[in-house]
Amino acid sequence: MTSHGSTRNSTGTNLDPWYHHYADRAAGLSTSEVRALFAVASRPEVVSLAGGMPFVSALPSELIRSSFDRVMTDSGPQALQYGSGQGTPALREQILEIMALEGIHGSVDDVVVTTGSQQGLDLVTKLFINPGDVVLAEAPSYVGAIGVFRSYQAEISHVALDDSGLVPEALRERIAELNAAGKSIKLLYTIPNFHNPAGVTLSRERRLEILEICRDNGILVLEDNPYGLLYFDGPPPQAMRSVEEDGVVYLGSFSKTLAPGFRIGWVLAPHAIKEKLILANESAILSPSSFSQFVVSEYLRTADWKAQIETFRGVYRERRDAMLTALGEHLPELSWTNPNGGFYVWVTLPEELDSKAMLPRAVKELVAYTPGTAFFADGSGQRFIRLSFCYPTSDTIRLGIRRLATVINGELELVNAFSPSGQIATVRQNQNFSAPPPNMS
């Protein structure tokens, strides 16, 4: 072997000797714009309205400490050991209680605990998607879901959304088009409550209509509901899973109602599917973390977790209010969604602006957001930005929106100043502006 020489410390080359070795699906793995932003947003002087980190400091750490202490006293060896691939029975029972708050009744047998609900997304996609199969998703949709669907070579087809959520008529039309094209539509992925990134909530009437459309067309609904209990002005309509059992795979999570650091989410699956889901979970990770599950379970058993969720609601409600007020004050010419829960406001820019091209300028002004392009599989969405009010304080949010207004107004002045000379088009081209040129009249 030594005659071949060691390749140790051979840094400095970007050549990948395994370049031709990757699976076809590896081409779907690319750096998300949100990910790149995490690095930017971590600089302390930047006001980040970009990330989706919950404000875990609103959770008294004493609640976690005392849960942990009891776990180690009562069940240390079990908490440190491998567990079942489905998750602990105690935690699955508690998850049923939580889902009952949104009208869901299911069996403890059909709950599968996962490494965050992201892993639930991954497993369901792995189970159902052949290369080229279609996943329907709202326009816009959760960036992390788009990434998972891509990684299994799904074709992602966006369906229009408005202030009442996914538009049933648009869904019908899209399904008809795809059927006419001979496509295999496997899943409708939807976030009915306090949508990420759009902030809107699907109305009850539409939930029923969409379930019917999907049933009629043999499409499995993947209902992703991490924010449902974090409402501000009143609860959202009951979950789609509450009225349809066999046609809905439901994804839940403790990341927003407790803390993401545990990486504990779950899938409530149609009974026929759950066995395959457990096998897929075991194949991927053997079993979810016993350590995390025991601590979360003990917390749910002994802490007033409903009061804690009420605390989170209060924190996020105040921040949502701060953001909407600041937007009205500093950017009255723009339009935005009015979320009744969750983490996000979706802002529509004047059509002359490009949110992706504007981002470096915003970061220079010490404010970060997520450009709308992150939430469309086809790279559109330049006119939108996602603002998150979950992590920064209300004062910081106000500062961030003021800075954002400076950036946007500066860009608009630039557009107006250069518009007659036609130079803007050149600038846009240099920035790889991929949408049709804006109306310059």
Within residues 272-311, the interface with its own copies by CB under 8 A covers: 272-273, 276, 279-280, 282-292, 294-295
| Contact residue for its own copies among 48, 119, 257, 355 (CB under 8 A) | 119
d(CA 286, CA 300): 24
Kindly report whether the peptide bond that precedes residue 17 is cis, defined as omega within 30 degrees of 0: no
| Minimum distance of its own copies from residue 397's CB (angstroms) | 19
| Contact residue for its own copies among 50, 91, 92, 128 (CB under 8 A) | 128
Of residues 69 and 97, the one with the C-beta less far from its own copies = 69
238 touches its own copies by CB under 8 A? no
| Minimum distance of its own copies from residue 281's CB (angstroms) | 10
Question: What mask of x and - would describe binding to its own copies in positions 157 to 196, judged by CB under 8 A?
Answer: -----------------------------x----------
201: CB partners within 8 A, 6+ apart: 164, 165, 192, 193, 194, 195, 236, 237, 339, 340, 341
36 touches its own copies by CB under 8 A? no
Question: What mask of x and - would describe binding to its own copies in positions 71 to 110, judged by CB under 8 A?
Answer: -x---xxxxxxxxxx-------------------x-x---
| Minimum distance of its own copies from residue 425's CB (angstroms) | 34
Of residues 18 and 420, the one with the C-beta less far from its own copies = 18
Stretch that binds its own copies, among 67-75, 310-318, 328-336, 402-410 (CB under 8 A): 67-75
Of residues 262 and 376, the one with the C-beta less far from its own copies = 262
110: CB partners within 8 A, 6+ apart: 268, 269, 270, 271, 274
Q: Where are the beta strands (DSSP E) in 122-276?
A: 134-139, 155-162, 165-166, 185-190, 220-224, 248-253, 264-268
Of residues 247 and 372, the one with the C-beta less far from its own copies = 247
| Minimum distance of its own copies from residue 263's CB (angstroms) | 4
Of residues 137 and 353, the one with the C-beta less far from its own copies = 137
215 touches its own copies by CB under 8 A? yes
Question: What mask of x and - would describe binding to its own copies in positions 339 to 358, judged by CB under 8 A?
Answer: --------------------
| Minimum distance of its own copies from residue 161's CB (angstroms) | 20
| Closest CA relative to residue 293, chosen from 78, 61, 73, 55 | 78
| Contact residue for its own copies among 33, 40, 68, 321 (CB under 8 A) | 68
CB atoms within 10 A of CB 173: 13
Of residues 15 and 439, the one with the C-beta less far from its own copies = 15
Of residues 69 and 310, the one with the C-beta less far from its own copies = 69
d(CA 407, CA 204): 38
Residues 136 and 160 sit within 8 Å (Cβ to Cβ): no
| Minimum distance of its own copies from residue 236's CB (angstroms) | 17
Residues in the interface with its own copies (CB under 8 A) total 104
Binding residues for its own copies restricted to 357-396, rule: CB under 8 A:
none
d(CA 344, CA 332): 18
d(CA 278, CA 84): 9
17 touches its own copies by CB under 8 A? yes
| Minimum distance of its own copies from residue 116's CB (angstroms) | 6
Burial of 120 (0-12, 13-18, 19+ CB in 10 A): buried
53 touches its own copies by CB under 8 A? yes
d(CA 175, CA 143): 22
Binding residues for its own copies restricted to 131-150, rule: CB under 8 A:
133, 144, 147-148
Burial of 437 (0-12, 13-18, 19+ CB in 10 A): exposed
d(CA 176, CA 183): 10
| Minimum distance of its own copies from residue 26's CB (angstroms) | 5
Of residues 31 and 441, the one with the C-beta less far from its own copies = 31
335 touches its own copies by CB under 8 A? no
**Long-range residue pairs from 171-180, CB within 8 A, at least 24 positions apart, any chain:** 171/136, 171/210, 171/213, 172/213, 174/136, 175/136, 175/213, 175/217, 175/219, 178/134, 179/217
Interior/surface letters 281-320, b for 16+ CB within 10 angstroms, e for the rest: beeeeebbbbbbbbbbbbbbeebebeebbeebbebbbebb
Strand 248-253 relative to strand 185-190, pairing: unpaired
| Minimum distance of its own copies from residue 347's CB (angstroms) | 23
